[in-house]
Structure formats: C-alpha cells, structure tokens
Amino acid sequence: MVYLDNNATTPVDPAVAEKMSNFLKEHFGNPSTLYPIGRQVKEMITEAREMVAKALGAGRTEIVFTGSGTEADNFAIRGVLDAFPEKNEVIISAIEHPAIIETAHYLEKKGVKITYIPVDKYGTIYLDFLKDAITPQTALISIMQANNEIGTIQPIEEVCKVAKARGILVHTDAVQSFGKIDVSVNKLGVDLLSISAHKIYGPKGVGALYIRKGTNIWPLIYGGHQEREMRAGTENTVGIIGLGEAVRVLRERGDRDKKQVERLAEKLKKGIEDNIPRVKFNGHEKNRIKGTLNFAFLGLEAEAVLLALATKGIYVSTGSACSEGAEDVSHVLSAIGLKPEVARSCIRMSLGRFNTEEDIDLVLKELPEIVEKLREISGLEIDEED
C-alpha cells in the first residue's frame, strides 16, 4: 500500500501505539479521584500536557484537551463569542476547514455576522481586506495556519499585528501545520490555537486548544471540574497519553520528517509535471507545507483517478475528506478561482513520515498511464486557460 492521504489522517506511530496499549492494560483510574490509581493517571495527563505546551512554547495551564481538532475549533469561536456578549462579528478566511466554516454557518443562523476573507490564486489571504473588515463589533479573527487541501501557509504573524493594534483576539487552526512548521504561540502572537492528535501520528478523537493566559473565553461543554473547568467530562485518558507521546516523538525526530517529506514531495511534483501533460498545480509554490500536493488533471474526473489509483494500492484524496461525497465542489478550490470543472479534476496527495522513495517511484510509474487511459476513454475536452 502507498498511503498518500496524510492530511486526512496519519498512521499511528509504533511508539504511540505501544504507549497507549501499555497504558490501557495498566491504568484504569479516574484522574479526578484522590487515591493513588487516580493520582497516577492525573500525573501522566500532566506530563502529556507539559509535552504539548513545550511544543507550542506555551505554559502548561494554557492547554485544554478536547475531543478533536473540530471541538477545539468550535470551542475557540463559540467560547469567545459567549464571553463577549456585546460583540457579534467574527472574521474567518474563505478557505477554513469545515470545522470552522460550518461553525460559522451555524453562528450566522443565530444572528452573528461572519466576514469571509478572500484569498488570491495561491490561497493566501488578502491582508488589506482583513484590515478593512475589522469593526468595533469584531469579537475574534480565526485564520488557519496551513490549509489542508492545498497546503498554503497564511501570514499569521501579520494577522496578529493587525488584530493586536485593534485589541482583537486571534485564533488559528494549526491542525495541519503542527509538526510541519513552527507553531510557537508567542512567535505567532495568537491567543488561541487548535491541534489534533491524529494528524501527527497519534490517535483519533483527541485534540487540544491553546488558550493564552488571561484570554476571556467560556467553555463549550459544561459539567465536572476537569481541565480547570474549561472542558467538562472524564478525560479521554488513553487518547491524551497518546497525544503526549505523539508530540514527544515529533520533538525527538526534529527536522527528519520535514526533510524527508520535502525531498519526496519535490520528486513527486517534478515527476508529475514532467511526465503528465495538462496538469495544473494548485497552491503556493514556496509558502506551503511541502508534503501537500494538489493537482488538477484537466479533462478528468478526480474520482475516476482516485479509484484507478486505489486499484493499484495507492491512496489519495479528491480534496478534503470532510467534503467527500458532497455534491458541490471544494470551497477552497473555488476560492482560489478554479472553475467547477477544473476543481472536479483535482487530486490531493499528502505525504508523511512513513512514505518511502519506492512509494513515489510506484506513483510515478502508475499515474501517467492511468491519466492517459482515462483521457482516452473520456474524450472530454476542457478549456485550458487558468
């Protein structure tokens, strides 16, 4: 199997699997209890929290564990709006993950004004537009650090400078950037930042929200006193242990994943561009998480390419896994100006820690033939400009 869908989810690192399975066998205590088997689990959660905090350059008390990256995103936006009842405007980018976009749609139905910052053809937000969009009613700006479909990295430091000058809180969805580029919260200047374990070789169903000390935010979930009363419910202990270990492994590996992924992705990109006619690369050439490659195969239906690759054991995506099966085309590809028929021909290949040279060689052997065959049978013609 050649797995090239690491932006949808990553395989669990063996060290993480081992740590979680040992934990499950040895620890069942509730961390809220006062006797040793509970205290011990509480301590292990604290270690995981410290690990996450260190990776973000944050303090331990600034990390709240959540049930997913999606929950962290919901928490950030809805929690800040709850804390500022006199404000009713939120600014987001047009290319956010559904975890943010759909939260925004929900809030619009509740009367909140959402402003969507447009992006250029590379997927970079227009900062000037952002400056003009801010009003005294703006409660929060939420702009993702790196896009999951095309990989484009946003100028979060600049966003924070603009926001700070106006006294507005900034959240960034760093689910796709964490582990790939620098996410130091103080360097970025953000007040809130979301991460998810299963995008960094950890388990599914656990994430975290960084909340800068002193930030005015209300919980999303009410109940017991867990997570300093910011997220009620008995902790997903094994998940949190897994997230902590995944972060430890990230830190231990340093630049190794990044270098390897970058090299293999560059080889794959060049191979596709040199050997397949009528392809169009989507996203930013440089300012991108380098393992994300999104290509239009002009004249084809992406789904046909995906299925043909799957028969060869090569797994890719037609865009965002969250919009798979949806009728309309990706909002990200529309936002960068692709016509629907071009957007429908786009394939995302996202590399990760466990990809090898052989993986790339196999794709470069199979993909040109698949595209040629499909184009022969489709006979579909398409206008090639942009």
Ligand X SMILES: *Cc1c(COP(=O)(O)O)cnc(C)c1O
- State the catalytic residues: 322
> Closest distance between ligand X and the C-beta of residue 173, in Å?
5
Alpha helices in the chain (DSSP H): 14-26, 36-56, 69-83, 98-109, 127-133, 156-165, 185-188, 226-229, 237-253, 256-275, 302-311, 331-335, 340-343, 357-378
Instruction: Map the footprint of ligand X across residues 201-230, applying CB under 6 A.
Output: 207
Contact 247, 236 (CB under 8 A): no
Contact stretch for ligand X (CB under 6 A) within 30-38, 62-70, 112-120, 274-282: 62-70
Q: How far apart are the first and last CA of the chain?
A: 34
Q: How far apart are CA 100 and CA 108, in angstroms?
A: 12
Of residues 126-185, which lie at the interface with ligand X (CB under 6 A)? 144, 148, 173, 175-176
Query: Toward ligand X, which CB reaches closer, 247 or 300?
Result: 247
- Phi, psi torsion values for 210, nearest 5 degrees: -80, 130
Give the DSSP letter string of 242-253. Answer: HHHHHHHHHHHH
List, in order, residues 6 or more apart from 381 with CB less than 8 Å away.
299
Q: How far is the CB of 218 from ligand X (least distance, A)?
A: 21
**Quick check: 113 and 88 in contact, CB under 8 A?**
yes
CA distance 314 to 370: 12
Contact 128, 73 (CB under 8 A): no
Query: How many residues belong to the chain?
Result: 386
**Which range of residues in 69-77, 82-90, 229-237, 349-357 is near ligand X by CB under 6 A?**
69-77
Sign of the alpha-carbon torsion through 374, 375, 381, 386: positive
Q: Which of 20, 23, 58, 69 binds ligand X (CB under 6 A)?
A: 69
Q: Which residue in the set 74, 103, 124, 196 belongs to the binding site for ligand X (CB under 6 A)?
A: 196
**Residue 149 or 191 with smaller CB distance to ligand X:** 149
Residue range at the interface with ligand X (CB under 6 A); choices 11-19, 52-60, 68-76, 306-314? 68-76
Burial classification of residue 358, based on how many CB atoms lie within 10 Å of its CB (0-12 exposed, 13-18 middle, 19 or more buried): exposed
Residue 189 beta carbon to ligand X: minimum distance, rounded to whole angstroms? 19
Give the residue nearest to ligand X (CB): 69
Lay out the site mask for ligand X across 97-116 (x = CB under 6 A, - = otherwise). x-x-----------------
- Using CB under 6 A, count the residues that bind ligand X: 15
Q: How far is the CB of 100 from ligand X (least distance, A)?
A: 7
Nearer to ligand X, 198 or 269 (CB): 198
Stretch in the footprint of ligand X (CB under 6 A) among 81-89, 196-204, 278-286, 295-303 = 196-204
Least distance from ligand X to the Cβ atom of residue 181, Å: 13
Chain residues binding ligand X by CB under 6 A are 68-70, 73, 97, 99, 144, 148, 173, 175-176, 196, 198-199, 207
